[in-house]
Structure 1
Amino acid sequence: MTVHILVPMDGSPMAKQTLEHALSMHPDARFTILYVIDYIEESYSARALVGADKLQERAEERAEELFEEAEEIAREHSEEIETRTTVGDPSREIVAYAEEHDVDQIVIGSHGRSPMSRILLGSVAEDVTRRAPVPVTVVR
Structure 2
Amino acid sequence: MSRSPSARDEVPEGIPTALDWVVMCADMATVHAAQRYACIVELWDDAIADARRREEPVAFVERSVRLEVASALRITEHAAGRLMGVGRSAAGITPSNTTDWRVKAKPGGALEWTSPAGRVYLVHPERRIPQFTVDPPGAPPF
TM over 0.5: no
Calculate the TM-score normalised by the size of structure 2. Answer: 0.26
Q: Computing the radius of gyration over CA atoms, which structure comes out larger, 1 or 2?
A: 2
Higher relative contact order (CA 8 A, sep 6+): 1
